[in-house]
Structure 1
Amino acid sequence: MNQKRNSKHYHATSIFFHWAIFLLMAAALALIEYRGFLPKGDPDKKIILHNHMLFGQLVFVFVVLRVASRFSFGVPAALSGPRWQIWSAHAMHALLYLVMFALPITGVLFTQAGGKEVDFLGWVLPHFISPDKALRGSIKEVHEFIGNAVYYVVGLHILGALWHQFVRKDGTLRRMWFGAAK
């Protein structure tokens, strides 16, 4: 590992992926929410869906790269605190990673179960699942459930970071901010 585990800040690469994933997820969610307000048959719905899927697939790629970054550069030592707090922080991060992987995967699977191809930057992804209307509906429900849950999971993550920063005053936000990893 290039970065010592007892460093106070995340590596610049991890910081980049953290905020890039946040922006991509926010864009994907905003697009799909906006699409719901458009009338049926609106030609913009197809463009919005395409961009929603593109951002979702980029989230998947960036999460893979972020995990690789964690292994390559490590993470700062955990902040001190009660055992339950440290456990809940680890659980929250695990849940965030689960959501970041599950949303793009279920999106691709339910699209393919609907008999449609999924393209990524001009390449057509291989089919991981055969067309199946019933399965498509089930996977879509899971995708939408996770998509709705992400608001709460990310909200809790943000509240936790703000609580650490402004109540505990332990510098949590500086650990994951640009320029901090010098």
Structure 2
Amino acid sequence: MNTAQTPGATRSAPDAHARGPRFAPSLIVLHWLIALIIIGMLGVGLYMVGLPKGLPFKATLINFHKSLGMTVFLLVLIRIVVRMAVGRPALPPMRAWQRAAARITQVLLYVGMIVMPLTGYLGSSFNSYGTRFWGILLPKWGWDDKGLRSFFFGIHEVCAWIMIALIALHIAGALKHQLIDRDGLLARMLP
């Protein structure tokens, strides 16, 4: 029996063979931490846009949202580096279209997790407030310009809805593998 593992995959005691190779613990922690922050950030973002302008609480929520976004950006960069260093376990056997859908969804999620914070930061760079990262004012890349601010925030908003759809697709795929295929795919990412 071949006991070699895919780089980045770890096995635990008795049920390891039933579940197959797992992601490295560092990638599991980063996955769930980023997922929780993104879900919270999307919730805060959707809530705050409906609040009236000038409400002091709205400014607090906006700064909180920006800090979460920049945190996700940094964590995603760390996750990319860790994933390149430790690798990932191979996907279980599946149809070619499912494998392609999984890869495309994953790439688009990574793109979204990078584009969203960048467009939020750039949009904030073209207003008089700027971006505070947990209270620290970050450098602005622009000047007060309503057109550019609207452009970047427009991309940010479209990306938010695309991310919501991608997250729903990602969760649906994981549940399909868990409940219908029963191939142990979800167990690879569980703590």
What TM-score do you get using the length of structure 2 for normalisation? 0.86
Counterpart residue number, 1:21: 34
Note if contact 2:119-2:156 (Cα within 8 Å) is conserved in structure 1: yes
CA distance in structure 2 between the partners assigned to 1:165 and 1:129 by the alignment: 47
Go from structure 1 to structure 2 and tell me whether the alpha carbon gap of 1:35 and 1:6 turns closer, same or farther (over 3 Å shift).
Answer: closer
Aligned pairs for 1:1-182 (under 5 A) are 4-5=6-7, 7=9, 8-178=21-191
Matched residue type, 1:98: V
CA distance in structure 2 between the partners assigned to 1:122 and 1:52 by the alignment: 12
CA distance in structure 2 between the partners assigned to 1:161 and 1:77 by the alignment: 15
Note if contact 1:5-1:77 (Cα within 8 Å) is conserved in structure 2: no
CA distance in structure 2 between the partners assigned to 1:18 and 1:33 by the alignment: 22
Go from structure 1 to structure 2 and tell me whether the alpha carbon gap of 1:110 and 1:37 turns closer, same or farther (over 3 Å shift).
Answer: closer
Q: CA deviation at 1:113?
A: 1.5
What TM-score do you get using the length of structure 1 for normalisation? 0.89
Note if contact 1:6-1:77 (Cα within 8 Å) is conserved in structure 2: no
CA distance in structure 1 between the partners assigned to 2:104 and 2:95 by the alignment: 14
Go from structure 1 to structure 2 and tell me whether the alpha carbon gap of 1:50 and 1:6 turns closer, same or farther (over 3 Å shift).
Answer: closer
Note if contact 1:117-1:125 (Cα within 8 Å) is conserved in structure 2: yes
Note if contact 1:21-1:59 (Cα within 8 Å) is conserved in structure 2: yes
In structure 2, stretches of 5+ residues that fail to align are 10-20
SS at match of 2:129: coil
In structure 1, stretches of 5+ residues that fail to align are none
Q: CA deviation at 1:56?
A: 0.5
Matched residue type, 1:104: P
CA distance in structure 2 between the partners assigned to 1:138 and 1:154 by the alignment: 24
CA distance in structure 2 between the partners assigned to 1:64 and 1:6 by the alignment: 17
Q: CA deviation at 1:76?
A: 0.4
What number of residue pairs does the alignment pair up?
176
After superposition, the C-alpha distances for 1:58-110 in whole angstroms (9 at most, x for unaligned) are 00011001101101111001221111111111111000001100110000000
Note if contact 2:8-2:86 (Cα within 8 Å) is conserved in structure 1: no
More deviation, 119-128/75-84: 119-128
Aligned-residue identity in percent:
33
Aligned-CA RMSD value: 1.7
Q: CA deviation at 1:6?
A: 8.2
